[in-house]
Amino acid sequence: MLALRLLNVVAPAYFLCISLVTFALQLFLFLPSMREDPSAAPLFSPALLHGALFLFLSANALGNYVLVIQNSPDDLGACHGSSASRAPCSPPSTHFCRVCARVTLRHDHHCFFTGNCIGSRNMRNFVLFCLYTSLACLYSMVAGVAYISAVLSISFAHPLAFLTLLPTSISQFFSGAVLGSEMFVILMLYLWFAIGLACAGFCCHQLLLILRGQTRHQMRKGVAVRARPWRKNLQEVFGKRWLLGLLVPMFNVGSESSKQWDK
């Protein structure tokens, strides 16, 4: 349990450090390198378009990250002041989290990167957090590839060029042909690629469970769920005004999942 509580502190700090490093690289390396194109129109310059797109992706990722923490699931175990695992008012879909020491409605899992449980109140923000984190990381990787390609005069036209970039760069770094800052960007490329793919896979898995009206906890326990139309399952999590929440990080809009018990 001590290891889990320590991970609950280290993982959010790791995420915030990666976010700060990404912002610094975008601001001090990638954007200045795009301003060097004199033929670009000021209104539609690559630096301006890149900065606006990255700001949109990162603002949604960090905004939903904060909302996942702020919109924390209620502790249903405190409704009768009894043991959380035996709270008589808790519906069958609840689960007691040992890390948070609370009973969560429609408990899905405990996310160590947010240091919080994912349940009915913050599921929507968590899915959008995974989506925009994946997009921001993959987009940063593309911008980083363009920067390395221009600085080191490397062509990524061959499909295996990205896979062989790291071992080749390591040997060149120790021989002095690659600077420390350039080597750091190359390492970040692979980190962005890994985080982007992991978040994308996790987002798709969560969406599949939402379409089925099931949580990860129910799937692990083999709990049967009632059959309902997939549109109703989506609306229960994302609400009726889902498009507004997709563009702007905000609390659940029109969602009914946090207002009702499972029947």
Residues labelled catalytic? 111
Q: Would you say 258 and 242 are in contact if contact means Cβ atoms under 8 Å apart?
A: no
* Token digits of residue 157: 């036209």
User: What DSSP assignment string belongs to 81-138?
Assistant: TS-GGG-TT--TT-EEETTTTEEETT--EEETTTTEEE-TTTHHHHHHHHHHHHHHHH
Q: Cα dist. 100→11, 97, 117, 257 in Å?
A: 15, 6, 7, 21
Q: Would you say 130 and 202 are in contact if contact means Cβ atoms under 8 Å apart?
A: yes
Cα angle value 131/92/82 (rounded, 5°): 110
User: What DSSP assignment string belongs to 58-97?
Assistant: HHHHHHHHHHHHHTPPP-GGGGTTS-GGG-TT--TT-EEE
Q: How far apart are CA 199 and CA 131, in angstroms?
A: 7
Q: How far apart are CA 248 and CA 233, in angstroms?
A: 22
